[in-house]
C-alpha cells in the first residue's frame, strides 16, 4: 500500500506543476522525484514513476430496465414473418 501512496503523491505533484500555475494564488512549482533513476549519470534529472500491480477484471451485466432513458439503438431491424 505504501507504493500506491507514493504514486498518488507523485501524480498530485505532477498535476500541480502542470495544471495549476498562472496566478499568484496557485501553488508554486515543486521538485518532482519519482522512482526512476539514470544508471549512467546519477546527476541526470529523470521524471517518472513506475508501479507494477496485479491485473483485475470484473464483468457486470445490466438489463434494459436498469437504464430506462438510455435509448440505445443497435441499428438492427426486427421483422417477424408469419408462415
pLDDT in tens, 16-70: 777 766 676 766 666 777 788 889 998 888 888 888 788 889 999 988 788 888 7
Residue 63 lies in a domain: yes
Which DSSP string corresponds to the chain?
-HHHHHHHHHHHHHHHHHHS-SSTTSPPP-----S---SS-TTS-------------------GGGSTT-----S--------
Tell me the residue range of the domain where 43 lies.
1-68
Residue 77 lies in a domain: no
Model confidence, pTM = 0.41
Residue 81 lies in a domain: no
Residue 44 lies in a domain: yes
Residue 21 lies in a domain: yes
Residue 74 lies in a domain: no
Residue 83 lies in a domain: no
Task: Work out how many domains the chain is built from and give that number.
Answer: 1
Amino acid at each position: 500500500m505504501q507504493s500506491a501512496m507514493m504514486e498518488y503523491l507523485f501524480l498530485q505533484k505532477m498535476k500541480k506543476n502542470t495544471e495549476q500555475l498562472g496566478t499568484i494564488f496557485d501553488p508554486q512549482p515543486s521538485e518532482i522525484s519519482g522512482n526512476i533513476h539514470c544508471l549512467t549519470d546519477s546527476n541526470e534529472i529523470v521524471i517518472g514513476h513506475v508501479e507494477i500491480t496485479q491485473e483485475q477484471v470484473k464483468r457486470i451485466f445490466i438489463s434494459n430496465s436498469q437504464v430506462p432513458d438510455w435509448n440505445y439503438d443497435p441499428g438492427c431491424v426486427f421483422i417477424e414473418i408469419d408462415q
